[in-house]
Amino acid sequence: MRVDEFLARDPAGLIGELAVADARRFRRNEPQQIRAWGITIGCLRAALQGWTEAAAWALVFEFPLLRLGRRLDVVLVTPRAVVVLEFKTGAARHDPGDRSQVEDYALDLQDFHAASRDIPIIPVLVATAAPDRAATWALPLAGAQGQAMESSGPGLGDLLRGLWAQFRGLADTVEVAGWEAAAYRPVPGIIDAARTLYGRHDVLDIRSSRADLHNLSLTSDTILRTIAEARAEHRHIALFVTGIPGAGKTLCGLNAVFAADQQGGATFLTGNPTLVHVLRAALVRDAVATGMAGAAARQRAETSIQALPGFRDHYVARAGECPAERVIVVDEAQRCWSADYARAQSRAREVPLTESEPGHLLDIMARQREWAVIVCLIGNGQEIHTGEGGLAEWGVAIAARPNWRAAAPSRALDDPVVRQRLPPLPGLVTDDRLHLDIPVRSIRNAAAAAWVDAVIANDTDAARRIADSAGPLPFRLVRDLPALRAHLRAASRGLRRCGLVASSGAKRLRADGLGAELPHMDRAAVANWFLDRWPDVRASDALEMVATEFSCQGLELDFVGLCWGGDMIRAGNAGWQARQFRGTKWERIGAAEKVANRLNTYRVLLTRARYETVIWVPRGDAGDATRNPAQFTEVANFLQLCGVRLCGVQESDGATLDMTGAAPQTLLL
């Protein structure tokens, strides 16, 4: 509403409307919300009363942020800037956590709100009972300002007038009347997406404004339509969804689970224990926060998100038991075990396997005699472990079971790598809406995934062309560990989180002080690392513990510090050389499958960031044969030739501090 309309409204009526809206979301706190909104409305009226110049500006209350599952208290839309106001009623101090919260709100608008790009966005934290303090005025720069301004309740009017004075000389660039109606299409991280979809929002609510509609909505629609057809026509269908890293496969899979659950039961299966632990913990925390009992919240989360090995073994051991679900979504289905590997790995276990994992899953779901659907999410180039059969193993299993039909995108049939190719099958339906080729994870540059592919393929020219044509890449290079930590801490503003990742084969990073790996089988440790925040030393942004490819595949961080190991070095014109550390020395890996898995490991690590990946290539130690400085320098030089920029941290006086220890934009020879 316009500011003059707000000032003309009956305060009691407006407070009542806002409190009722809050009560619908937070059922137990209506009295507190009435008091809080009373204080907020009083502060705003006092701040804006008699300010003729502000009469036509807009006030937006309770602006929803679907990515975060939260709402902005108040947005003041002026012709030259947007002011994000977060009120902490009764607070006598400005809490650092509250400051991060409002800064994150401003960043969210900058990234995902169409009318908020390239305009100044000012976060303001109002602690209504705090003492007044002198303001440090925001510069009139486009984008979310770095640090939240602080105000008391009585001092808000002076702060807003002072802000307007800073922007008075700028041109009017904000369409005040249309700001609220502009498209807001956030791209949540996978944890936020699970929370949002779990709350019965649709994938359409959270698609990227920079992605074509087919990237998420058409793929999701195709999955749900196929499930409905299987139910209506009494069919058993295996559906293959392929995609590049970060294109939204897991997002579509979770959407299918939470939507199809109402049509006969559905569950999300993953062999990645970290993903199970993190998603379950996030859903339980959210459910408990909204009033659900802890036991009920855990039971519901455990039904929706299951570990694939547990699901598999339960039903293999109980041959006569029909699964409760009619729809299962298999995450990273290309990583399912081949028949030979499954038999070898389970020979001494309590539940021995006689088929490949695809074969067992097809047989288990066939016990649902009327209909069933298996949605297989296939990550191109994501195989990272011995024995992963790829699409080829699914093809063998389906061919042996004529009651199953398959649907897949056409490119799943012609992949140059045999392991990643689905063979011709009777009755196979091809549908290219099942392929996701537009990355939504990389917020700043959609070309990041293609650049990573070129780097892994040792194609310097292609990588450089992408870097030159697609604008600044979301990749940086440092040579010192303190520089890596400094940049990550400076970059991850608001509630954006950062963390360190490294290959499980990078054994000699312990010489640089990085010997502590996130134990991916420890559910409490994993939940703490991905969900808690500094100053909790167990959290990812403490930057103390590294997550390996097994801990972070399928998950993501806003800012990633990739610690490059001696397990992937350059071999001159021959390109990448994969190694493993045995005893006291490195040994070259010769087996083609193991080499491919190591390359895929670095592909996974390079595609975990939503905003930026900072690559730390150690300097090595001339006195340590296992940490040859020349080998690391060759890696650093190659990355620079591919277009990676050296990393600098902006100092408060405006000077740039080179954090690499080398001259900016020069090869580290």
pLDDT of 190 reads 73
Of the candidates 21, 48, 49, 16, the residue with the CA atom closest to the CA atom of residue 35: 16
Distance, first Cα to last Cα, the chain? 60
Q: Which of 11-20, 439-448, 473-482 has the highest mean pLDDT?
A: 473-482
β-bridge mates for residue 171, sequence order: none
Predicted confidence (pLDDT) at residue 657 exceeds the cutoff of 70: no
Express each pLDDT in 120-170 by its tens digit.
999 999 999 999 888 877 777 778 877 899 999 999 999 999 999 988 888
- What are the tens digits of pLDDT across the range 262-281? 555 899 999 888 888 888 88
Q: Please report how many Cα atoms fall inside a 13 Å half-sphere around the Cα of residue 527, on the Cβ side.
A: 12
Binning pLDDT at 50, 70 and 90, where does residue 241 land?
A: very high
Residue 481 carries which side chain, given as an amino acid letter? L
Q: Are 506 and 563 in contact (CB under 8 A)?
A: yes
| Cα–Cα distance list, 648 to 142, 263, 476, 642, 659 (Å) | 21, 53, 9, 18, 5
Pairwise CA distance, residues 121 & 117, whole Å: 9
pLDDT of residue 641: 96
Q: Say how far apart CA 373 and CA 266 lie, in whole Å.
A: 9
Cβ neighbours for 1, distance < 8 A, ≥ 6 positions apart: 9, 58, 59
Q: Which of 29-43, 235-249, 315-329 has the lowest mean pLDDT?
A: 29-43
Mean pLDDT, rounded, of the chain: 87
Instruction: State the average pLDDT over residues 224-230.
Output: 94
201 or 378, which is more confident: 378
Burial string for 204-241 (b: 16+ CB within 10 Å, else e) reads: eebbbeebeebbbbbbbbbbbebbeebbeeebbbbbbb
Backbone dihedral angles phi then psi of residue 232, each to the nearest 5 degrees: -70, -35
Q: Are 12 and 39 in contact (CB under 8 A)?
A: no
pLDDT at 52 over 50: yes
Q: What residue has token string 């298996």?
A: 374
More confident residue, 15 or 289: 15
Copy the structure tokens of residue 648. Answer: 């600098």
Q: What is the pLDDT of residue 437?
A: 81
pLDDT for 582 equals 96
Measured distance CA(54)–CA(285) in Å, rounded: 42
Looking at residue 652, its pLDDT comes to 34
Task: Write the pLDDT tens digit of every residue in 297-346.
Answer: 888 788 889 999 999 999 999 998 999 899 999 998 998 999 999 999 99
Sorted by where each starts, the structural domains of the chain and their CATH numbers stand as 3-167 (no CATH), 190-436 (3.40.50), 448-658 (3.40.50)
Per-residue confidence (pLDDT) for residue 361, from 0 to 100:
98
Render pLDDT for 58-84 as a digit per residue (tens, 0 to 9): 999 989 875 555 788 999 999 999 999
In terms of phi and psi (left: phi > 0; alpha: psi -120 to 50; beta: otherwise), the region of 248 is left
CA distance 322 to 329: 17
Closest CA to 149 of 89, 203, 86: 86
Residue 661 phi/psi, 5-degree rounding, is 80, 10
Contact (CB, 8 A) for 215 and 209: no
- pLDDT > 90: what percent of the chain? 60
- Containing 327, the helix (H) or strand (E) segment is strand 327-330
Q: What does the pLDDT read at residue 192?
A: 76
CA dist., res. 608 & res. 462, Å (int): 21
CB of 463 closer than 8 Å to CB of 580 = no
| Dihedral angle sign, alpha carbons of residues 400, 402, 407, 411 | positive
| Of 304, 329, 311, the residue nearest 253 (C-alpha) | 329
The alpha carbon of residue 601 and the mean position of all alpha carbons in its chain are separated, in whole angstroms, by: 18
Nearest in space to 113 (alpha carbons), one of 18, 46, 209:
209
Q: Using an 8 Å Cβ cutoff, are 607 and 448 in contact? A: yes
Amino acid, single-letter form, for residue 339: A
Q: What is the mean pLDDT of residues 282-288?
A: 83
